[in-house]
Structure 1
């Protein structure tokens, strides 16, 4: 047994004093859908609803004897890492200072405070995460405490690797001596990915591993393609739990041997469809990053999946339900069930009746707004239409063309869509 596997096993044993192992569950719905045996490692069921508690616990527990009793553990985060550090500070009865951006939703601030109770102090600093992180670093540099990094530290990596250490033991109970054919792991800063992949290699399984990133924040893919540690200039932050512009330096070192072909990038709006599907069919609440590994299955051919045993790491379920309307909106647009149009409506009586006559029983107008009224022959109107089958729009657009009115589909014109909608 390698030193790393020993350290991970030790960390896993210590975690049993904090919470019970998260389940490894065979999911019947996904198994039938993909004609495979799909198992979910449910990290959304930890006390803080994400795997982040593992790395935070291992880091703090290893630092306790190396810092003074009065030293505070410091982190900068607006999400799961903050909650993990807060929970662990309360568990060890040690002071924690959590730096969060001023723009952090109140719901996340409240949850972080609940986990840490009287042992933590929350400081709202900066409009962006980078500004917040700089403030936390300055605080630590001035002797204010010990920084608990989110991913770029071997103690964090070791803690996150307990996900697979647990899953391996559970797998043996469920499947005997067989190994998974494939493991899929989501990637943000790389702590989970580097921990799981390194444990997999040193544990001795011959299982194939693939990593999944959002299309708009594929930092690991960029590094592997460039064969060096790089930072993305711009990222899409919608999948906030995995939207990291620069993977950790240590994490990249541990992952640099992989081919870019091992990375699956998934569109943000498709992830929304997966979230809605899991909520409606399975009653499972996932955050966007937590749905990445499930969504990645849609990018793999049916032949590659058929008959295989696949282990998916479900990284978290901290979902703010205030985001649900946006999630549903993005899901419908991705499936082609909702579109936005700008029409030039003729300015005379009966125009609206003529337009409504083009719609079928399954077509529903969910938004209707005059953008500009004038004395001109045509007035601009924003119309959003939902339908039950995406091919209904083929018929609709033929009908629109027959009307002879000017119109434009702005559903996928991101610049115009963001401006108007």
Structure 2
């Protein structure tokens, strides 16, 4: 495998070295200077001037083009003649394919079989040769490295290389030119290439500008590395914001982020969905989840630190969204903005009980009401309530209900309730069961569900099953099994053999309210 040497194999580059390399990066041979757009609606709502760096306006709808082209432009003629290879689930692949087309270099991109067609087709449209292999990025990367060794390709990493970092850092130059009075810039973090490049550039030129990295809560590899003092590998990463679903921060990107970032904030999937909606309402652009990540972090940081009258910028890093994924975003954005609350409420089983309950809600809009007759005395209902004043209002509703004699549990942060239970109300078993409940995430590719059922369903009776396609490249399943205590050790062993992310949900309150016997 032909490689451009890593910074970790040489003398480490200084901030001044990176500044020089960023200023010399020839990215504008293929990339665009993207606008820094005002977000007037959001600015008025949170009392700060918010601007959005529109990297979705690049030819490949992502910033990744900058780093890929900068590294490829520095290859030797023999390396260009041999060709390049990369592993990517989307944005890096498209940046590499277009760079290869521009430079006349053969490019092979290994993509997981779970990659949405829109991203595979985009890579092919730029002339890239796509190889579909594996069910996740790590498997795709391993195969790409194997092919590189076999054919002498140069491996182009997605983030952890000085040339890639310098290419991404050109965004920092544009930010300074477009608004030299920024107080803080929020940058999404996956492998850390964008955050490292922007932070090292800004701190060389205008060190008074704060740079804050933003991570998804379920793939916060930078935060884990900062806590440990060195890069560590996460056991699992969530796939909703797939563009930042990285288990381990890069070595060089970590060094730079640790030195130059001022702070790091993590956000939930619901908060990301809310930011997608904010971007659409202000710009009519539709960001992919990882593209809206930094704006979600900006909003959370403003709330945590009570910022007022500041000039803040977030980077919209990409817009390669599978359209059907908007179904999930639209369902969850109100929860992320604390504009909807989900409650499990026990009401008496009698005529007029629902009307009395609505009176206690106080005229607020009920967004969802799920109920099925259970017995002659009490009923458990799943209720969604529209909120105007966030968590404080929801706390007041809960207090009023309890004063009115209605037992209530807040399910607004219960992932299983939001993904599965709200679609399954009334599914109690008609006979006694020794049941345990598990949630699973598995890749959306042909045969994944069959593998799941062959590994588990042929050994233990499945007593409950819920799956709903959210348009993502991974599936979420809720599954109940009839299990005796003596079977748990063997069952857990089969779960490990399966290799999918799983969680025991047997004690989940939503399950006990609506599905358990």
Give the equivalent residue in structure 1 for 2:324: 322
- Are residues 1:8 and 2:9 paired? no
After superposition, what is the alpha-carbon deviation per residue over 1:11-70, rounded to whole angstroms, capped at 9, x for unaligned?
1xx33332431123344444444544443322121111111000111122212524152x
Give the equivalent residue in structure 2 for 1:61: 73
Shift of 1:274: 2.0
- 8 Å contact from structure 1 (residues 270, 331) kept in 2: yes
Q: 1: CA distance between counterparts of 2:39 and 2:322? A: 24
Distance 1:147 1:307, change over 3 A: same
Between 186-195 and 197-206, report the one with greater CA deviation.
Answer: 197-206
- 8 Å contact from structure 2 (residues 85, 107) kept in 1: yes
Aligned pairs (5 A) from 1:119-130: 119-130=127-138
Give the equivalent residue in structure 1 for 2:219: 217
Distance 1:58 1:357, change over 3 A: same
Q: 2: CA distance between counterparts of 1:356 and 1:180? A: 47
- 8 Å contact from structure 1 (residues 74, 96) kept in 2: yes
3-state secondary structure, aligned to 1:209: strand
Shift of 1:239: 2.0
- 8 Å contact from structure 2 (residues 398, 408) kept in 1: no
Q: 1: CA distance between counterparts of 2:47 and 2:122? A: 39
3-state secondary structure, aligned to 2:213: strand
Shift of 1:160: 0.6
Distance 1:420 1:308, change over 3 A: closer
For structure 2, which runs of at least 5 residues remain unmatched after alignment? 1-14, 423-517
Q: 1:51 aligns with which of 59, 63, 74?
A: 63
Q: 1:199 aligns with which of 196, 201, 211?
A: 201
RMSD between aligned alpha carbons? Answer: 3.2
Q: 2: CA distance between counterparts of 1:366 and 1:227? A: 46
- 8 Å contact from structure 2 (residues 94, 123) kept in 1: yes
Distance 1:181 1:344, change over 3 A: closer
Give the equivalent residue in structure 2 for 1:282: 283
Give the equivalent residue in structure 2 for 1:168: 176
Distance 1:127 1:28, change over 3 A: same
3-state secondary structure, aligned to 2:237: coil
Q: 2: CA distance between counterparts of 1:183 and 1:297? A: 8
Give the equivalent residue in structure 2 for 1:78: 89
Give the equivalent residue in structure 1 for 2:52: 40
Q: How many residues align?
A: 406
Aligned pairs (5 A) from 1:7-406: 7-11=21-25, 14-63=26-75, 65-69=77-81, 71-114=82-125, 116=126, 119-143=127-151, 145-171=153-179, 179-203=181-205, 205-258=207-260, 262-298=263-299, 299-300=301-302, 305-342=307-344, 361-366=363-368, 368=370, 370=372, 382-386=382-386, 397=398, 401=402
Between 321-330 and 337-346, report the one with greater CA deviation.
Answer: 337-346
Between 268-277 and 24-33, report the one with greater CA deviation.
Answer: 24-33
Shift of 1:74: 1.3
TM-score of the aligned structures, taking structure 2 as reference length: 0.69
After superposition, what is the alpha-carbon deviation per residue over 1:283-320, rounded to whole angstroms, capped at 9, x for unaligned?
23222222233223332369774344334333222233
- 8 Å contact from structure 1 (residues 125, 132) kept in 2: yes
- 8 Å contact from structure 1 (residues 186, 211) kept in 2: yes
Distance 1:352 1:72, change over 3 A: same
3-state secondary structure, aligned to 1:16: helix
Distance 1:383 1:362, change over 3 A: closer
More contact order relative to length (CA 8 Å, sep ≥ 6): 1
Q: 2: CA distance between counterparts of 1:349 and 1:160? A: 63
Between 262-271 and 155-164, report the one with greater CA deviation.
Answer: 262-271
Q: 2: CA distance between counterparts of 1:204 and 1:392? A: 42
- 8 Å contact from structure 1 (residues 34, 302) kept in 2: no
After superposition, what is the alpha-carbon deviation per residue over 1:76-134, rounded to whole angstroms, capped at 9, x for unaligned?
111211111122222223222221111122222222222x2xx3221211112221221
TM-score of the aligned structures, taking structure 1 as reference length: 0.83
Q: 2: CA distance between counterparts of 1:353 and 1:406? A: 16
Shift of 1:321: 2.9
Shift of 1:365: 4.6
